[in-house]
Amino acid sequence: MKKKLLVSLFSFIMILLILCGNCFTAFASDSDNTVYVSGAKIIAVEENGETKYQLAVTIKNNLQDNDNGKVVGLHVLQSAIRIDTFDKELYTFTSGNMCNIEDIAAYDSSTIYFDIKTVGDLDITSAETNIKYTLQYICEDIRHESSDTYNNVMTVEGDATVNEKVTELGTIWNFVKQMGFYNLFADFGTYWPNLVMMLISFLLMYLAIVKKFEPLLLLPIAFGMLLTNLPAAGLFHEFLFAGGHVNWTAFSANAGLIDYLYLGVKLGIYPCLIFVGVGAMTDFGPLLSNPKSLLLGAAAQVGIFATFFAARETGFFTAAQASSIGIIGGADGPTAIFVTSKLAPELLGPIAVAAYSYMALVPVIQPPIMRLLTTKKEREIVMKPTRSVSKREKIIFPIAVAAFVALLVPSAAALVGCLMLGNLMRECGVVERLAKTVQNELMNIVTIFLGISVGATATASTFLTLQTLLIVVMGVVAFGMGTAGGVLLAKFMNLFLKNKINPLIGSAGVSAVPMAARVSQVEGQKAKPGNYLLMHAMGPNVAGVIGSAIAAGVLLALFGA
């Protein structure tokens, strides 16, 4: 009963708003300060042998001085033109004061011309192009030398003609038309993909909250996906980052909240800060006590490069896009985001969602592969306890690795350098306050910003495509091949080692820390209760973090701009 009452009340309020809006519009249109827009179209103009395009807006002006019949001047300050195609939403601007019309006879028509600055490869002459433009103008009262600002908002499709009166004051009806509900249902054919994306965001929230699948990042990613797909919210604008570059000219005039937050992703700030926190939480002792595990971490990166070649061979992806898809095999979310933001920002949403989803599904994906590639006898191998590692070794290690990797693969210096900085803070013992800060406060703040920003890139136009489906499928392949690579190398090494390695720890070479190591522990105890593999598996696990960062540097060096 209460639900029916609320629905009825909401419907009544909406009807009342619409009726009041229409009444208010009719009342306001009788004002002397009314501008009639009677038509608009795009025209081609030859200038110095070059074809340029203009938006021609025809107006009728009745801003009349009642004392002497003199029409008030129309001085246009700025024009913002939004051009919508099937896969783009771009803004163009004219510069300066576009026109200054004075002493127009009452009710006579006059046409104003606005230069259109095209963005990218947009064909503004296409019959499929929809143009929405906003004129901001001042009606100057010559007698009193005062000015007031009015807004004129028109919608024109191609060469269509409109007859809409714009009044001195805003109306309730204009407020209603700005509602997301109005946009969603009035233009459902355009916005139904947004509705689908909102439902997907709800599913991801369910997985994060109820199923606890990587909730620390999946929850903000899902919420960012919800925010960016809300009709008319204007929180994130893809056109500001079109072509892989930030459109600084249009940024300040159009940017929403998430546009500012996304700069941290676009400029590579958030992933590096995340790596500082990861380094501060990582103990490289198991790796130092058994250096052979570094090879297992390297072998697990085979999934990255194998998937790169597979994605490239499909013909659906460029080399840069294939690199971003392949990095999913490293099972390292920040690295995947860092590489994709540099090489294929248009795929950031699908790749980030796939990477973190598969990281959460490590306990589901890895065990069948591990059991398939090993025998029960191999899974029962008991490894000798690891040696203790001195504090001096732990301090020297991050310094040496940072210097060596930066000299070997300079493009990996940002990620590996930040990882080792965090680890040095942890191990040196003289900056405990800083180490705790990057492990907790900094890590948590950046995680929130990173998740929301990445989720916001999952717009309907980029997510609901065949490419996204292929990314999801190839992400599983990359992850599975990385798992298999570590296991198979461990089996191969056992052919030459006196002290055998349990092949299960090879699967931890993917850098999903510490989940992959725990899976190795669980599978080992299923084969032989009491077999303790966790610390042995942590060696290739942390080696995988370094390995995925180096692999990312290699791909950036090969295919980065």
Contacts of 269 (CB under 8 A, 6+ apart): 263
59, amino acid identity:
I
The answer to whether residue 238 scores a pLDDT higher than 90 is no
| CATH T-level fold of 31-171 | Immunoglobulin-like (2.60.40)
- Confirm if 223 and 229 have CB atoms less than 8 A apart: no
Predicted confidence at residue 234, as pLDDT, reads: 81
pLDDT-derived band at 405, boundaries 50, 70, 90: very high
pLDDT-derived band at 499, boundaries 50, 70, 90: confident
Predicted confidence at residue 34, as pLDDT, reads: 44
Each domain of the chain, given as residue ranges in start order, spans: 31-171, 257-559
DSSP conformation letters of 177-194: HTSHHHHHHHTHHHHHHH
Measured distance CA(370)–CA(520) in Å, rounded: 9
What is the value of pTM for the model shown?
0.68
End-to-end CA distance of the chain: 61
Give pLDDT tens digits for 273-309: 999 999 999 999 999 999 988 999 999 899 999 999 9
The answer to whether residue 479 scores a pLDDT higher than 50 is yes
Percentage of the chain surpassing pLDDT 90?
40
- Give the up-direction half-sphere exposure of residue 357: CA atoms within 13 A in the CB hemisphere: 20
Element (H, E) at 216: helix 215-228
Alpha helices in 255-332 (DSSP H): 257-266, 269-281, 285-289, 293-299, 302-314, 319-326
* SS3 call for 127: coil
b/e per residue, 522-557, with b = 16+ CB within 10 A? ebbeebeeebebbbbbbbbbbbbbbbbbbbbbbbbe
Higher pLDDT, 495 or 173: 495
Give pLDDT tens digits for 220-233: 999 999 999 988 78
Measured distance CA(61)–CA(69) in Å, rounded: 12
CA distances (Å), origin 192, targets 133, 184, 203, 228, 401? 23, 8, 17, 14, 50
Measured distance CA(120)–CA(84) in Å, rounded: 13
Instruction: Compute the average pLDDT of residues 513-540.
Output: 91
The answer to whether residue 141 scores a pLDDT higher than 90 is no
Measured distance CA(101)–CA(104) in Å, rounded: 7
Predicted confidence at residue 42, as pLDDT, reads: 60
Measured distance CA(239)–CA(250) in Å, rounded: 9
Question: How many Å separate Cα 173 from the centre of its chain?
Answer: 34
The answer to whether residue 205 scores a pLDDT higher than 90 is yes
Predicted confidence at residue 127, as pLDDT, reads: 41
Give pLDDT tens digits for 305-332: 999 999 998 888 999 999 999 999 888 8
The answer to whether residue 63 scores a pLDDT higher than 70 is no
DSSP conformation letters of 468-510: HHHHHHHHHHHHHHHHHHHHHHHHHHTTT-SSPPPGGGGGGGS
Task: Give the CA angle between residues 74, 78, 83 to the nearest 5°.
Answer: 120
Question: How many Å separate Cα 508 from the centre of its chain?
Answer: 28
Measured distance CA(98)–CA(45) in Å, rounded: 16
- The rounded radius of gyration (Å) of the Cα atoms in the chain is 30
Strand partners, 59: 37, 110
Predicted confidence at residue 164, as pLDDT, reads: 36
Q: How many CB atoms lie within 10 A of CB 395?
A: 16
367, amino acid identity:
P
Predicted confidence at residue 192, as pLDDT, reads: 86
Contacts of 4 (CB under 8 A, 6+ apart): none
Predicted confidence at residue 406, as pLDDT, reads: 94
